Copies of this chain bind each other. A is one copy, B any other.
Amino acid sequence: MTLNDRKMMILQAIVKDYIESAEPVGSRSLSKKYNLGISPATIRNEMADLEELGFIKQPHTSAGRVPSDKGYRLYVDQLMEIKRTADKTRIHLKTELLRQYNELEQMLQYTSKLLSEFTNYTSIVLAPQVKKSRLKEIKLARIDEENMLAVFVTNTGLIQNPIFRVPPELSSDELEKIANFLNQKFVGMPLEEIENRLAGTLKEELERFHSAVHSVMPELFHALEQMSDMGLYLSGTTNIFNFPEFSDLSKARDFLTLLEEKQVISQLITDPGGGQLKISIGSENSIQKAHECSIVTASYHMDNQTVGWLSVIGPTRMDYAHVIDVLDQMSRLMNQALKDKY
């Protein structure tokens, strides 16, 4: 079922043209605009074949053709020329600013803003998944008579510092002892494993180690659980209004509502598949509500491990080549910035 060169050429032209114009592409204008060296009639014949094979479709009988999800897929896999056109210098310059953020959070927020700015779509940045990151250090310290501060530092630069009450009889020295013990046991371990162990047999061992520890444990455990909330940074949500496919109010609404459901969004982005870069087109998305969108996702790394994702979401009629280019550059630059920092 491989297509001959001419069909490929025609499909490529249709997709390109439609990505640019958002109007169904007719045989006549195609032949004129792209100098394919064949007449509209011939193109019509080929189009009929392409339609039968499911790569393009007609909005209605007397309209031009529009790429189907399958058509975009073929385009992305085989026809697209990744143009390194996105202004490299500009991206590079702006990304330099990443280094000036001390807080990972702000850095991610800024990354997201840049992504939407460079692509004109909506961007999503997923912060490092807490549960998978490894403990670097636990600190416990009294703040005053009633409260203590726990600081969890992970290898992904994530810091969590819940405050909670402790009985006054627990001294600073004792807290330090407990912290030492916990560090000895847990440093280097993924948080989710720590959570499991805390719930399991280790609990007893800890309570044997220090009698006062049982008053701190539930709070620590709770704090760990709370860390599961994964940060998600959106930017350019209103860019959707630039695209005619969302000029229907209910379409725009559905899209924006989708974006509000952080749980769903993060599932879409972390869906397995793909390597360094993942492209999910229309109905390929695992969630029904995202069937009118395409999502391009790049991962970013720390310690040679994937810890989070940069993502661009927009209409299936997306300028894939450009988005891929930008995402590729941004993720590289971000990896570098993270490496320098942590």
**How many whole Å from A163's CB to the nearest CB in chain B?**
7
Q: A143 and B137: CB pair below 8 A? A: yes
Interface residues of A in 129-144 (CB under 8 A from B): 136-137, 139, 141, 143-144
| A29, CB-defined interface residue at 8 Å | no
Known pairs A238-B253, A260-B237; A226 contacts B103 (CB<8 A) = yes
Instruction: Enumerate A224-269 residues with CB–CB distance to B below 8 Å.
Output: 226, 229, 237-238, 241, 247, 249, 252-253, 256-257, 260
Docked CA distance A106–B257 (Å): 21
Shortest beta-carbon distance from A340 to chain B in Å: 11
Contact of A238 among B136, B143, B149, B256 (CB under 8 A): B256
Q: For the complex, is A162 an interface residue (Cβ under 8 Å from B)? A: yes
Asked if A79 lies at the interface with its beta carbon under 8 angstroms from chain B, I say no
- Copies of this chain, whole number: 2
Q: Tell me the chain A residues, 172-227 only, with Cβ under 8 Å from chain B.
A: 222-223, 226
A102 to chain B, nearest CB (A): 5
Contact A226 to B102, CB < 8 A, known contacts A241-B253, A253-B238, A256-B237: yes
Does A153 have its Cβ within 8 Å of any Cβ on chain B? yes
| Interface residues in A256-311 (C-beta closer than 8 Å to B) | 256-257, 260
Determine if A8 is an interface residue (Cβ-Cβ < 8 Å): no
Chain A interface residues toward B at CB < 8 A: 102-103, 106, 136-137, 139, 141, 143-144, 149, 151, 153, 157, 159, 161-164, 222-223, 226, 229, 237-238, 241, 247, 249, 252-253, 256-257, 260
Of all chain B residues, the one with the shortest Cβ separation from A229 is B106
**A162 B102 Cβ-Cβ under 8 A:** yes
Contact B159 A161 (CB under 8 A): yes
Q: Do B161 and A161 touch across chains, with their CB atoms under 8 A apart?
A: yes
Instruction: Please tell me which one of the listed residues B164, B229, B238, B256 contacts residue A102 in the complex, with CB atoms under 8 A apart.
Output: B164
A238 x B257 contact (CB < 8 A): yes
Would you call B223 and A102 a contact (CB within 8 A)? yes
Shortest Cβ gap from A128 to chain B (Å): 15
B residues in contact with A253, CB < 8 Å: 238, 241
A241-B237 in contact given A151-B151, A159-B163, A164-B102 (Cβ < 8 Å): no
Given contacts A102-B164, A241-B253, whether A139 and B137 have CB atoms under 8 Å apart is: no
